Every structure is written in C-alpha cells, then in structure tokens.
Amino acid sequence: MLHSYPLEASPQPDLRQLLEELYRGRSLQPYRSGQAIRMLPDEILVVCRGVVQLGTLYDSGDEALLGLACPSMPFGLPLSFIRPYQALALTDVDLMRLRLVEVEQSPMLAQGIFRHLTRRLQQTEAVLAMVGYRRVEERLRHLLLLLKQEVGQPSPNGTRLSVRLTHQQLANAIGTTRVTVTRLLSQLQEEGWLIIDGNRHIVLPTHALSPNLNQG
C-alpha cells in the first residue's frame, strides 16, 4: 500500500509568529540557495522562510539526505547525534538563531519548538519506512509523496513540489545512482504518475496516490 504520509493531520501553532512576538526587532539570517549553513553546538536554528536540506557524509564520501527543515521547523547540532551533520539552503532561506539558554529559559518557546520537532520525528519515521522497500521504484515514489506532503503546493495539474531536487539528491535519498533516478523519473512521467512543468518542477497529479505497491 502506498502511504500518503498525513504528517499534518492536526494543525500546529505557527512558531514563526511566536518568534516574532518574543524577539521583535531581532534580525533574521538570510542564506542563498545552495549555500552551506553554519551551525554551532549551542544554537538551535528555526526556518522562517524557505527549505533547508539536512544531511551527512558516509565514509565513502557519498552524501545522505536526512530530511528537510521547512518553515517553523527547528534544526541544529544539539538536536542530532549524527556527525558530520550538514545543513544546506535548498532554496533562499531566512533563519532565526536561538541559543540553548534562551530556549531553556522560555517555557513558551520550548513548547513551540517541541511541537514542531514532532513534525521532524514524523518525517524521519516516514524516511525510515521508505528505506524498507526493496525496489528502487517504490522508494522513489514514496520519497516523492513525502516531498508532496512537506513542500507541495496546489497547482492546476495537481500538487507541485516547490523545491527542485537534483537527480543526484534524489538518488542519495533513496540509496541508488543518478542514472537510475533519471530513468525512473522518465518512466513515471510516461506513465502519467508525475508531470514536469515548464520550470522543471515535479507535479504529482491527484491519481499519483492510486498505485498499490507491495512492501518488500
């Protein structure tokens, strides 16, 4: 069964609004698309605009996608045991940096961050479930559905992924090669399971949820 990953079944308070109320006047830190984000061991970063790619490097030098931090999601070195832990601006982003002591001293802020950490946890579990599929095609379909949930925007043809991931980034996420991802994307496009729009963004039509895939 192909899961739809209802990660936001219950509405979450807007952490960005809370930050604006608590830290009115504090400037945000902008990063351009493709720019590496500096992280410190005593800081938590909150995405106020854009999408951040979180990843690591294997001993072989290959990259692995750990997840995506979308608006209101926190990330940072204190929130992960993974080393090396890397963050890259997948789009233009605005971040707010919070020192751990600030979070510890504000119950309201700590509660807001905890609520949005649950989204990250749900996303991580969805990624782990995706890895359990033996066939690469199944993993790619599940990854695209997860991206639909996280960064999808309504469009006339279905749901448009607002972020353009390269074929290599998709390959890293599902443990395959760029050539294989390119071939599978072409196959899924021929099947009508996805559309590539004029700006090279992936669009998933409504019927993209219809195939029943057997878990390996």
Tell me the per-residue pLDDT of 188-211, one tens digit each, with 9 for 90 and over.
999 999 999 888 899 999 876 644
Write out the residue range of the structural domain in which residue 164 sits.
135-209
The last residue of a domain, from among 129, 162, 192: 129
Do residues 77 and 142 both lie within one domain?
no
Per-residue confidence (pLDDT) for residue 133, from 0 to 100: 82
Tell me which long-range contacts 127-133 makes (C-beta under 8 A, separation of at least 24). Answer: 127/66, 127/67, 127/173, 129/3, 130/174, 131/174, 131/175, 132/215, 132/216, 133/213, 133/215, 133/216
The series of mean pLDDT values per 10 residues for the chain, 216 residues long, is: 46 59 72 93 91 86 80 90 90 90 86 84 79 86 88 90 86 87 95 90 79 41
117 occurs within a structural domain: yes
Q: What is the pTM of this model?
A: 0.72
Give me the number of domains the chain comprises: 2
Do residues 76 and 158 both lie within one domain?
no
10 occurs within a structural domain: no
Per-residue confidence (pLDDT) for residue 202, from 0 to 100: 93
